[in-house]
Amino acid sequence: MIRILVVEDERPISDLVRMSLQKAGYECTCVYDGLAAADALEAERFDLVLLDVMLPGVDGFALMDYIRPLDIPVIFLTAKNSVDDRVKGLRMGAEDYIVKPFEVLELLARVEVVLRRYSKLDEVLHVGGLDIDTRSMTVSRDGQEIALTAKEYEMLLLFARNPGTALYRETIYERVWGGDWLSGSRTVDLHVQRMRKKVGWEDRLVALPKVGYRLEA
């Protein structure tokens, strides 16, 4: 599972980022100052760091000097929105620079782009008897290609990248359709039913009452 270190001293923002990333299937560790971030990076392995600039103790720009040799991609999350600050962060080696306040969907999209850039997300996935080629956006079983609609493919990829994780209907809708889920909508359920029948996941992709779905690992 992809592991992300969130370095943000504002607890409400940190909690929002953590919950959003966990819903999307990422594993998160949260720390609230630069020194704690350095300790976490020394003790554990991470695939990505979301880093606030204005931190107590050691600020985010100073912490970049510590992170750079570790070859871990960094996305800055900050209220400092001047062009000079953005240019400074990018020149120091950050992959992206997101200004607060930000939309959760934008954050998730940028995280995915950076992880793919660093090949943290596999280009070919082998899950549940399927071969999913993310380069050609094709799905096959035993060498036979399975025809899926664009939405079915995106949904399949979401489950394949998050096996064993309960995905809320709201999360599925936001990631696949890019909008706010309306309570009571059957869009997700209907697409899941069609998709799992096509790929033979009737017993593997299970419904979670009042929650959503989970792909059995």
Q: What is the pLDDT of residue 91?
A: 82
The percent of residues above 70 in pLDDT, for the chain, comes to 96
**Residue limits of CATH 1.10.10.10 in the chain:** 124-215
* Range 161-176 average pLDDT: 84
Q: For position 119, what pLDDT does the model report?
A: 67
- State which of 58-72, 96-110, 144-158 shows the largest mean pLDDT: 144-158
- Return contacts of 63-71, CB within 8 angstroms, 24+ apart: 63/7, 63/34, 63/37, 63/38, 64/89, 64/92, 64/93, 64/94, 65/92, 66/38, 66/41, 67/41, 67/93, 68/92, 68/93, 70/41
What type of residue is 152? E
**Cα–Cα distance, 184 to 187 (Å, whole number):** 9
Q: Where residue 41 falls among pLDDT bands split at 50, 70, 90?
A: very high
Average pLDDT over residues 72-91: 82
Q: Length of the chain in residues, anyone?
A: 217
Confidence of residue 57 (pLDDT cuts 50, 70, 90): confident
Class of domain 124-215: mainly alpha
Of all residues in the chain, the percent with pLDDT exceeding 90 is 43
Estimate to the nearest angstrom the gap between the alpha carbon of 150 and the chain centroid: 20
Strands 130-133, 124-127: parallel, antiparallel or unpaired by DSSP? Answer: antiparallel
Tell me which residue has tokens 């695939």: 47
Cβ neighbors of 159 (< 8 A, separation 6 or more) are 167, 205, 213, 215
Task: Report in angstroms the alpha-carbon separations of 155 from 139, 189, 217.
Answer: 12, 11, 16
Alpha carbon distance 52, 50 (integer Å):
7
Does 182 score more than 80 pLDDT? no
pLDDT value at 120 more than 70: no
Cut 0.75: pTM above it: no
Which of the four pLDDT bands, split at 50, 70 and 90, describes residue 177?
Answer: confident
Mean local confidence (pLDDT), 32-54: 93
Q: What is the mean pLDDT of the chain?
A: 87
Q: Which of 97-106, 165-174, 196-205 has the highest mean pLDDT?
A: 196-205
Q: CB of 104 within 8 A of CB of 163?
A: no
Q: Where in the chain is the domain with CATH 3.40.50.2300?
A: 3-117
Q: Which CATH number fits domain 3-117: 3.40.50.2300, 3.30.360.10, 3.40.50.300, 1.20.1050.10?
A: 3.40.50.2300
**Contacts for 170-178: CB closer than 8 Å, 24+ residues apart:** 170/23, 170/212, 171/23, 171/24, 171/212, 172/212, 172/213, 174/104, 174/105, 175/24, 175/105, 175/108, 176/151, 177/151, 178/105
Q: With a cut of 80, say whether residue 123 has pLDDT above it.
A: no
CB 46 within 8 A of CB 26: no
